[in-house]
Amino acid sequence: MGDLKLMKGNEALSEAMIRAGCDAYFGYPITPQSEVLEYLAREASQRTGMVVLQAESEVAAINMIYGAAGAGRRVMTTSSSPGISLMQEGLSYIASAELPCLLANVVRGGPGLGTIQPSQADYFQSVKGGGHGDYKLIVLAPSSVQEMVDFVKLGFELGEKYRNPVMILTDGAIGQMMEKVVLFEQMPRKTEFPDWATTGKKPGKDRNYITSLHIQSEKMEEINLRLQAKYKEIEKNEIRYQAVNLDDAEYVFTGFGLVARICIKAMEMARAKGYKVGVIRPITVFPFPTQVYADIAPQLKGILDVEMNAGQMVEDVRLSVNGATKVEFYGRMGGMIPSPEEILENFERIYIKGETK
Amino acid sequence: MTQEAIFAGFGGQGVLSMGMILAYSGMLENKEVCWMPSYGPEMRGGTANAITIVSDDYISSPIISRFDSVIALNQPSVDKFESRVKPGGMIIYDSTNILTPPTRTDITIYNVPGSAEAVKLKNIKVLNMLMLGAFVRATKIVKEETITEALKQVLPERYHKLVPLNMEAFNVGTSFVTN
Amino acid sequence: MSERTYVDIEAELTDQPINFDEDICLAENVVYVKPQTLIDIPMHYCPGCGHSTAHKILMEVVDEMGIQEEIIGVAPVGCSVFAYHYMNVDMQEAAHGRACAVATGIKRIMPEKYVFTYQGDGDLAAIGTAETVHAANRGENILVVFINNGIYGMTSGQMAPTTLPGMVTTTSPYGRDVKTQGHPLYISNLLANLPGVAYVSRHSVHTPNNVRKAKKSLAKALEYQKQGLGFCLVEIVTNCPSNWKMTPKQSNQFVEEKMIPFYPLGDIKVPEGK
């Protein structure tokens, strides 16, 4: 049993990083996640000797991550949307070189400099690759402060298991809100490193080098095939989702992260009015829990997908049900958060009254 | 029992702390809690606010637009949130500086002369604790004695000497609510 | 070319059969060996290019210091992108310009190890200027080997930040016009002003004497790293015969007559008391 605390999402994430035995954090301040660097600067190196460095930019930060991850260490960075965009080049290299690392995107509203208010508009960027080339991140979408903690530990484990970058896709509201959390106990930092790590050539063994450059097309295709096979394996093993009240459901509300919880509240309100509504919350948004949608679709009159964007995950939901039921979308953008009442209203407008906007 | 409350006022009046102390108290009593500071358009229009939910059950949405209770420390908060109190809910407002009081008849309205009472205690900064006292007495969502412990957790050690003054204010606040 | 070897000719002249291994390969006859830490495969560099020499002396220093197992290198994007094919030490290949950030990541978690980057002028002084300046300013305890030939080699001869005024490249076909294309960037001198920087020295590898000096400078820089003095940079002013459209010999002449007067050789900054 760990410690019970009341913490803000960003602080809980930072504390979990220290406790997970993270070796290094490289980051750059950006609202709404600057508390992470501040918290670590205050706490981390004193407690575990963890390296905490404020880089000159997100571009530098992600490449510092590349270096330290290449040396086989547990490393993490965090940022918010514009900063994550700057990191995409480095992420593509990290994915290609198959280095484990953990990132958190505390998403804010875009495009451009946008707003510092919460958003989910970076879904496509997170789950479809983000940078150049065919690659995937493992993407975890927490919906509570507790999951901000749990997914740090899980994220490091998944990253190391698959030698793949992992992203925690969260938003400014979860980052700022306070909830009860149970913190896991301090884990020791690693003292042994993988045999591929560049920690200095071992006597009698070949040198290690980490690269994403393979000039010969045959070789580069081989690398791509290996990556794709890995992503298939991840899709087979690592799908996580939360399903609520699906047994008798005629309708499903679906959304990820914070919005899923608003959907659950809207579901409670809908059930109070006699509508048989369930909720599906993908916890991993890559790999996407396709099957749960496919399985439930035939019994449904429709799905309402709710997001804080113009409709991104809804495309994956539609692919999952493959026409077996109607999938409608309701979203807010630019830092606006849909309320439970709004979701219920739009559900009734679309599915009960049969109106279109 | 579930209490969905919003604490609202000017920045600097300690509304975020009020919510936080309530959330800590809830946690100490092993309840589910959630504290969400102002977001989006809620941040504009002269109010800072914190939604605080305390419940015996799982809390689904931290985002709510209707409240069981509004604790208003300035006029814009009353203007903005009065219409969003659920029927049968309540507003507690600082009647010293809020000159246009709420008017709804389907909710309970407590007027607490918080600023005037805080001045009597020679520290206007305890207004928030005073109002919190009224809220806790009215809702009974946490035990009044838990607040002292929560206060110690929210305040850094170096401010613990201020705990007695804050609790005095809290107790004054409770006295304005008679059930 | 005749198929006959030196050994055959000797044998004909002396009329004595000579056994190469027993008669010639003797310790006392050795005047040169390739460093152990340089992998024995043909390099992809163009004939006459200074990269191979720079690689060699760097690995010689690693050999002589006996630090092959304690050093990690970072390769750039540019002609030396494949440096890890030749240098028999643990290495990482960085994105274009990011070598100093990657090196920072490595060094910060393994401060006891030696870390170097090997970067060209475009990588270090154009796309990677921010990473370079800030690593230097933080006093990252790393060695940067900076290869300055005033041109982009890998992409076939475009203008570099260090291209000389008036110099013709594919993107300055009428000669670099400083009014519209900017002035050559004295990045080493610029970095030398920063308090985090311990050692900056400029060398060339176009003559044996200069090669010796450059090698000494690399050894000094790694020694300073061992002492924890901070950021060290060794600039090597060199040639690019292919993209300068010159023979190797002409290109070395150009180094001597044009490059070095513009980028004078020697120490730019040395640690106090050294």
In a domain, C190, yes or no: yes
Kindly list the distances between the CA atom of residue A143 and the CA atoms of A7, A105, A352, B15, B136, in Å, as whole numbers in the listed order.
14, 13, 28, 25, 29
Asked if residue B44 has pLDDT above 70, the reply is no
Count of the separate structural domains present in chain C: 2
Measured between alpha carbons, how far is B82 from B67 in angstroms, rounded to an integer? 9
Does an interface of 3+ CB pairs under 8 Å exist between A and C? yes
Q: Which of A171, A180, A339 to mutate to test binding with chain B, by most B CBs within 10 Å of its CB?
A: A180
Burial of A109 (C-beta count, 10 Å sphere; 0-12/13-18/19+)? buried
**Chain A neighbors of C93, CB-CB under 8 A:** 97, 209-213
In a domain, C177, yes or no: yes
Residues C9, C74, single domain; the answer is no
For residues C25-50, average pLDDT: 91
* Structural domains in chain B plus CATH codes: 2-174 (3.40.920.10)
In a domain, C216, yes or no: yes
In a domain, C50, yes or no: yes
Question: How confident is the model at residue B40, as a pLDDT?
Answer: 59
Q: Choose among A51, A63, A209: nearest Cβ to C102.
A: A63
Q: How many CB atoms lie within 10 A of CB A205?
A: 9
Asked if residue C219 has pLDDT above 70, the reply is yes
- CATH topology of A3-187+210-237 equal to that of A242-352? yes
SS (H, E, C) chain A: CCEEEEEEHHHHHHHHHHHCCCCEEEECCCCCCHHHHHHHHHHHHHHHCCEEEECCCHHHHHHHHHHHHHCCCCEEEEECHHHHHHHHHHHHHHHHHCCCEEEEEEEECCCCCCCCCECCCCHHHHHCCCCCCCCCCEEECCCCHHHHHHHHHHHHHHHHHHCCEEEEEEEHHHHHCEEEEEECCCCCCCCCCCCCCCCCCCCCCCCCEECCCCCCHHHHHHHHHHHHHHHHHHHHHCCCEEEECCCCCCEEEECCCHHHHHHHHHHHHHHHCCCCEEEEEECEEECCCHHHHHHHHHHCCEEEEEECCCCCHHHHHHHHHCCCCCEEEEECCCCCCCCHHHHHHHHHHHHHCCCCC
Question: How confident is the model at residue A357, as a pLDDT?
Answer: 55
Residues C75, C104, single domain; the answer is yes
For the record, the structure tokens of C130 come out as: 């921010």
Asked if the Cβ–Cβ distance from B33 to A262 is below 8 Å, we say no
Nearest CA to C121 out of C256, C259, C213, C267 is that of C259
Do β-strands A284-286 and A138-140 pair in parallel, antiparallel, or remain unpaired? Answer: antiparallel
**Chain A neighbors of C84, CB-CB under 8 A:** 207, 209, 211
**Chain A neighbors of B63, CB-CB under 8 A:** 173, 258, 261-262, 337-340
Contact C117, C142 (CB under 8 A): yes
Measured between alpha carbons, how far is B135 from C226 in angstroms, rounded to an integer? 65
Residues C84, C199, single domain; the answer is yes
Contact C135, C231 (CB under 8 A): yes
In a domain, C37, yes or no: no
| ipTM, interface predicted TM-score of the complex | 0.93
Do β-strands A209-210 and A24-27 pair in parallel, antiparallel, or remain unpaired? Answer: unpaired
Question: How confident is the model at residue B38, as a pLDDT?
Answer: 83
Read off the DSSP letter of residue C21. Answer: I
Residues C140, C13, single domain; the answer is no
In a domain, C143, yes or no: yes
> What is the domain extent for residue C237?
43-269
Question: How confident is the model at residue B43, as a pLDDT?
Answer: 60
The number of residues in chain C equals: 274
Q: Which of C72, C80, C85, C140 to mutate to test binding with chain A, by most A CBs within 10 Å of its CB?
A: C72
In a domain, C274, yes or no: no
Read off the DSSP letter of residue C87. Answer: B
Chain B, nearest residue to A332 by Cα: B40
CATH code at position C253:
3.40.50.970
Contact A74, A22 (CB under 8 A): yes
Q: Mean pLDDT, chain A, as a whole number? A: 97
Asked if residue C9 has pLDDT above 80, the reply is no
Asked if residue C1 has pLDDT above 50, the reply is no
Given this structure, which CATH class describes domain A3-187+210-237? alpha beta
Contact A30, A80 (CB under 8 A): yes
Q: Choose among A118, A179, A261: nearest Cβ to B39.
A: A118
For the record, the structure tokens of A336 come out as: 């606006």
Give pLDDT tens digits for A99-143: 999 999 999 999 999 999 999 999 999 999 999 999 999 999 999
**Chain A neighbors of B62, CB-CB under 8 A:** 173, 177, 179, 258, 261
For the record, the structure tokens of C103 come out as: 């090196």
Interface check for A42 against chain B (CB to CB < 8 A): the answer is: no
The number of residues in chain A equals: 357
Contact B93, B101 (CB under 8 A): yes
Residues 6+ apart with CB under 8 A from A324: A294, A297, A298
Instruction: Sketch the domain layout of chain A as residue ranges.
Output: 3-187+210-237, 242-352
Give pLDDT tens digits for B102-155: 999 999 999 999 999 999 999 999 999 999 999 999 999 999 999 999 999 888
* DSSP 3-state of B171: helix
Asked if the Cβ–Cβ distance from B65 to A339 is below 8 Å, we say yes
Contact residues, A window 262-321, toward C, CB-based 8 Å cutoff: none
Residues C145, C181, single domain; the answer is yes
Chain A, nearest residue to B25 by Cα: A6
For the record, the structure tokens of A105 come out as: 């995107």
Asked if residue A324 has pLDDT above 80, the reply is yes
Q: Is the dihedral of CA B63, B66, B69, B72 positive or negative?
A: positive
Phi and psi for A328 in degrees, rounded to 5? -110, 160
Least confident of A191-195, A314-318, A349-353, C15-19: C15-19
Residues C80, C214, single domain; the answer is yes
For the record, the structure tokens of A196 come out as: 């591929």
Residues C20, C138, single domain; the answer is no
Chain A, nearest residue to C110 by Cα: A199
In a domain, C222, yes or no: yes
Read off the DSSP letter of residue B45. Answer: S
Asked if the Cβ–Cβ distance from A341 to B36 is below 8 Å, we say no
Asked if the Cβ–Cβ distance from C81 to A56 is below 8 Å, we say no
Chains touching A (3+ CB pairs < 8 Å): B, C
Residues C93, C164, single domain; the answer is yes
Interface check for A78 against chain B (CB to CB < 8 A): the answer is: no
What is the model's pTM? 0.93
**Chain C neighbors of A208, CB-CB under 8 A:** 90-91
**Chain A neighbors of C124, CB-CB under 8 A:** none
Q: DSSP assignment of C98-131, as one string? A: -HHHHHHHHHHH-TTSEEEEEEEHHIIIIITHHH
Interface check for A66 against chain C (CB to CB < 8 A): the answer is: yes
> Shortest Cα distance from C180 to chain A (angstroms)?
28
**Chain C neighbors of A203, CB-CB under 8 A:** 69
Chain B, nearest residue to A119 by Cα: B40
Q: Choose among A4, A173, A261: nearest Cβ to B39.
A: A173
Residues C1, C80, single domain; the answer is no
Give pLDDT tens digits for C128-150: 999 999 999 999 999 999 999 99
Interface check for A180 against chain B (CB to CB < 8 A): the answer is: yes
User: What number of C-beta contacts closer than 8 Å exist between A and C?
Assistant: 125
Q: Which residue has the tokens 């609790």?
A: B167
Residues C73, C118, single domain; the answer is yes
Q: Which of B6, B18, B39 to mutate to test binding with chain A, by most A CBs within 10 Å of its CB?
A: B39
Asked if the Cβ–Cβ distance from C98 to A90 is below 8 Å, we say yes
Measured between alpha carbons, how far is A169 from A166 in angstroms, rounded to an integer? 10
For residues B16-21, average pLDDT: 95
**Chain A neighbors of C110, CB-CB under 8 A:** 71, 199-200
Nearest CA to C112 out of A203, A199, A55, A52 is that of A199
Q: pLDDT band for A278, please (50, 70, 90 cuts).
A: very high
Paired residues of C197 in beta bridges? C231
Interface check for A264 against chain B (CB to CB < 8 A): the answer is: yes
**Topology, domain A242-352:** Rossmann fold (3.40.50)
Q: Choose among A61, A71, A207: nearest Cβ to C109.
A: A71
Interface check for A190 against chain B (CB to CB < 8 A): the answer is: no
**Chain A neighbors of C69, CB-CB under 8 A:** 200-203
Asked if the Cβ–Cβ distance from A201 to C92 is below 8 Å, we say no
Question: How confident is the model at residue C22, as a pLDDT?
Answer: 79
Q: How many CB atoms lie within 10 A of CB A122?
A: 23
Q: Mean pLDDT, chain C, as a whole number? A: 94
